[in-house]
Amino acid sequence: MNTLNTTDFKHVAIIMDGNGRWAEQRGRPRLIGHQEGARRIKEIVRACPHLGVSHLTVFAFSTENWKRTQAEVAGLMSLFRRYIRKEMQDFMKEGVRVRFIGDRIRLDAKLRGLMDEVEELTQNNSRIHLTIALNYGGRDEVARASRRLAEQVALGRINPADVDETTLARFLDTCFLPDPDLVIRTSGEARISNFLLWQSAYAEYEFIDTYWPDFTKEIFSEVMQRFGKRDRRFGAVVA
């Protein structure tokens, strides 16, 4: 895999779609696909330094995913707990800082405890910043941020006249992250599914036909090579 020598990007966000369909095409239970997808994350994380990516955000479970069958949701929650336990030490050894975004209130206490533990364990790492979106939705995030901002205004700590885009951004789940440069969605679906709505205002998008369990570091490299050739103007006209 070639190393990309560019400073044009640093944050890639991925909608890891197609796990269930990958399993169904093989006559396997959908949860098997999610398990394979979870294994794929480590390979992509490890590829990031070679591709100039310092921040990787992955969409693991959306606020809308609670609508799936009770069995699938329970299986996913169990998978998240096992995944964090299994990978925690490897993330620490490899210099990966792990953080989570999303509303944790609905998640069970054991999972929340593991999330807190891995965040604390890896807090001094800086080689790769991995952010996992868990019970996350873009509209929900903006609503929660607006509520927290309104509370500060009501307490007299923020002047309403001073509220602007920068002010609201400080209350978003992603306040510690740069905006994504590139958003990738696997599985052939061409929609953003309520993911990083605020942050992706000027992100580039790449929709990949490959299901997430088959999204290799080689495919990732090809996507990044294509992205590196794009002309990003951020609304300006270049003379």
Active site residue ranges: 17, 65
The rounded radius of gyration (Å) of the Cα atoms in the chain is 18
- DSSP class of residue 213 equals G
Smallest CA-to-CA distance from 205 within 175, 171, 182, 177 is with 182
Name the CA dihedral angle for 211, 59, 15, 175, rounded to a multiple of 10 degrees.
-160
- Coil, strand or helix at 33: helix
CA pair distance 125, 51, nearest whole angstrom: 19
Are 58 and 183 within 8 A, CB to CB?
Answer: no
φ, ψ for residue 102 (rounded to 5)?
120, 170
> Within 10 Å of residue 227's Cβ, how many Cβ atoms?
21
Smallest CA-to-CA distance from 201 within 161, 172, 160, 162 is with 172
CA pair distance 73, 49, nearest whole angstrom: 33
CA pair distance 233, 235, nearest whole angstrom: 5
CA pair distance 88, 115, nearest whole angstrom: 10
